[in-house]
Amino acid sequence: MRSPLRRLLAVGAAVLVSLTVVATPAEASSNRYVKVGYFTQWGIYGRQFPVANLQTSGAASKLTHINYAFSDVTEQGLCASADPWADWQVPFPAETSVDGVADVAGQPISGNLNQLAELKAANPRLRVLVSLGGWTLSKWFSDAAATAQSRQRLVDSCVDLWLKGNLPGLAPGAGAGIFDGIDLDWEWPGSEGNAGNVIRPEDKHNFTRLLATFRDALDRLGRAEHHKYELTAFLPAAPAKIDAGFEARKIFKYLDFGTVQGYDFHGSWEQRANQQSALKVPAGAPDNPDFSITTTIDAWLDRGAPRGDLVLGLPYYGQGWTGVTDGLFGAATGPAPGLFAAGTEDYKTLKNLPAEGYTVHRDRRAGHTYLYDGTTFWTFDDPEQLLQKTNYIKNKGLGGAMMWSLDGDDANASLTRAIARGLR
């Protein structure tokens, strides 16, 4: 076991690396494509997916960015940890620690954040951003963005907590140098998201103003620290949500890039088996209009978004239905059983279903893949499907790929490796 003093020096070295290595997205890889993977804060629990898995699988070396999900935006309009135990308190034993050394009592910081610092020390060009909000923590975004004063209060609290690293219960600055920027996952400005979210018509303009306030603060901090801080945002697929909440011609003045939802076009909340992330609307689709990656990206481009700043979101999970007798577009009796939630399942589980009697169906013209055994239907992406999507990214001139979420991949990071190979 490493002594507390040696542990302190190692953490300090990780922080020093993250403060002194200034990598833009282009510098973070040998090419211009960003490859952004979401790491879920709660993945260390039931999913048993620690940050160390990104190192042992080789995924970290294939990524340019990790988005750490999620920070809360409170009713008071402040950034706050949604789980301090996971973020900076839980001690990791040697076997699940990035550097192979167990956490010890009294070290400056533990938890996922310390593991991310170790991951950055092992992969100096890797950028780590903290994501704010998400589906369940976007309730108070509208209030926080409503006035110049409330916007500044939110931004100041986020910078102080996550970038300056002033984490409750720890020494001042204990978490400094771990995060390289902010990712806004407000779902959604001006339109319905999770039940109970505050929504205003003014959200559309206030979102742009919030980005401007963040951009100013990050640039000022970056100049003081000689470090590049990035600002990104998660953007919706539905044209109606784009129009309700986003000034597409303005927001990219402040964003380094935007990640676009390329999945959940259909799911088990519907009563029909369908695709969740097809490149094009499949022939015979019963919905008109319908969602696809092409219609989503074209909607952003038509509204003035710069194509090189659009990063396509890709799923590491599938949507599933059971009681399906007619395959694609067939009526379903309900969601398929899933390990963590009905109707969804990770790629690492779905990839094994062909050995259990499922047939893999590929529609290369529409660009989607599904599994079907005569009763249960899963729409999902495998490495072959992702290579088709990376070709689309390149041919369309987009900025790269985003993946939700890294814990859905297998132990060999097969999906992440396929994306990295496709975006060389």
Q: Over the stretch 113-153, which tens digit does the pLDDT of each residue have?
A: 999 999 999 999 999 999 999 999 999 999 999 999 999 99
The whole-number average pLDDT for the span 93-122 is 98
Closest residue by Cα to residue 424 from 386, 381, 394: 394
pLDDT of residue 32: 87
**Angle between helical axes of 383-396 and 414-422 (0-180°, round to 10):** 30
**Does residue 223 form part of some domain?**
yes
Which range marks the domain in which residue 9 is found?
4-260
**Does residue 411 form part of some domain?**
no
The structural domain count of the chain equals: 1
User: What's the first-to-final CA gap in the chain, in angstroms?
Assistant: 40
**Does residue 251 form part of some domain?**
yes
Angstrom distance (rounded) from CA 103 to CA 92 = 6
**Does residue 293 form part of some domain?**
no
**Does residue 108 form part of some domain?**
yes
* pLDDT exceeds cutoff 50 at 22: no
pLDDT of residue 31: 61
**Does residue 152 form part of some domain?**
yes
Active site residue 247: no
pTM here is 0.93
Angstrom distance (rounded) from CA 148 to CA 131 = 22
CATH number at residue 187: 3.20.20.80
* pLDDT exceeds cutoff 90 at 25: no
Q: Which of 27, 118, 187, 345 is catalytic?
A: 187
The whole-number average pLDDT for the span 27-49 is 86
What's the gap between Cα 63 and its chain centre?
Answer: 12
**Does residue 136 form part of some domain?**
yes
The region, left, alpha or beta by phi > 0 then psi within -120 to 50, assigned to residue 226 is: left
**Does residue 417 form part of some domain?**
no
The whole-number average pLDDT for the span 338-358 is 98
CB 272 within 8 A of CB 326: no
* pLDDT exceeds cutoff 90 at 33: yes
pLDDT of residue 15: 36
* pLDDT exceeds cutoff 60 at 344: yes
CB 225 within 8 A of CB 19: yes
Tell me the residue type at 390. T
